[in-house]
Amino acid sequence: MADSNFVDYVKICCRSGKGGSGAMHFLRDKHTAKGGPDGGDGGKGGSIILRGNSNLWTLLHLKYRKHVMSAPGGNGDAGLRKGKDGPNEYLEVPLGTVARDAETGDFLFEVTQHGEEHVLLAGGKGGLGNFHFKTSVNQAPTHAQPGISGKEEWKILELNILADVGLVGFPNAGKSTLLSVITAAKPEIADYPFTTLVPNLGIVPYRDYQSFVMADIPGIIEGAHEGKGLGTRFLRHIERNATLLFMVPATSENIKDEYNVLLRELKLYNKELSAKSRILSITKSDLVDAETLKEIKKKLPRIPHVFISSAAQQGLEELKDKLWNMINKEVE
């Protein structure tokens, strides 16, 4: 995992800019010996802002950036001149990034649109110049406000993969193989558990130049909701998938039981996941004979299903049709 380019969790120390001080000044020129107050306000300190970028899919660029600081605001000046606002520090993040307070774990916001901006940590306000403190009984105030200090806080950024279809299945269910066959993605594939250690995204081409996004989520095992195996680290990626594609091999001893275990793990992690549309694909169907397939059909759970073989290129068009109809039904 240490060498992976996929990073979905970072903890950073943020320090926003201090506001500039207001000026304490009185008008003085060749025509005015003792003018009134004309001290300008201080500029606002720079804020730290998250901005959505649809071209990013990982938080890798922030992994080694442990401290993020924005600039202070400029001090006010004579002639009611306001100090310059400190420039904001913008952090580009992939869509689906969730910001949390590191100390409390409280949810702050989620970035879901390209160009969408959220203030992660606001800069300090600039102080008022002495001009603001002039009154009928105090024509020459000798007081101006200092700028408000910026804040320093630790924040957590977590990435939840945004995809139309999320693949759900035990290790070696054929998820990576399916993704490699119907998209241009090239996930690592091998005949041992936990080959996929990071989520993989692929774009599935469909009819009339249309397409949808599919995410291969690392394999779930029984007890994943408690952190076993790859645990809850990747279960949260399933939360943002519109449709769930459950994948169970035709060679499984009991397809219905395996499906129920997968569904149970999702419900125990987040009961709202059970409300998502789902379809069951029986993979590796080329490895069993026709008689066995008939017996399997009699014992399947009562949800939409399709028999496929990624290796033999069987049932893939039917699968894409069913997924497309489900995705667009959800959108309506």
Indicate which CATH number applies to the domain containing 211. Answer: 3.40.50.300
C-alpha 147/C-alpha 16 separation (Å) is: 13
Residues 191 and 211 in one domain: yes
CATH classification at residue 151? 2.70.210.12
Residues 118 and 259 in one domain: no
Show pLDDT as tens, one digit a residue, over the chain (332 residues).
Answer: 334 566 888 999 999 999 999 999 998 887 777 889 999 999 999 999 999 998 887 898 998 888 999 999 999 999 999 999 999 999 999 988 999 999 999 999 999 999 999 999 999 999 999 999 999 889 999 999 999 999 999 999 998 877 789 888 887 788 888 988 888 656 444 444 444 456 777 888 898 888 888 888 765 655 444 444 444 455 666 777 789 999 999 999 899 999 998 888 888 877 777 788 899 999 999 999 989 999 999 889 989 999 999 989 999 999 999 999 998 875 44
Residues 152 and 211 in one domain: no
Specify whether the CB–CB gap between 244 and 238 falls below 8 A: yes
Residues 84 and 183 in one domain: no
Residues 261 and 202 in one domain: yes
- Looking at 141, 159, 177, the residue that finishes a domain is 159
The parent domain of residue 67 ranges over 1-159
Q: Which residues contact 39 (CB under 8 A, 6 or more apart)?
A: 22, 23, 24, 25, 76, 77, 78, 80, 129, 130, 131, 144
Domain count, the chain: 2
Q: Is the pTM of this model over 0.85?
A: no
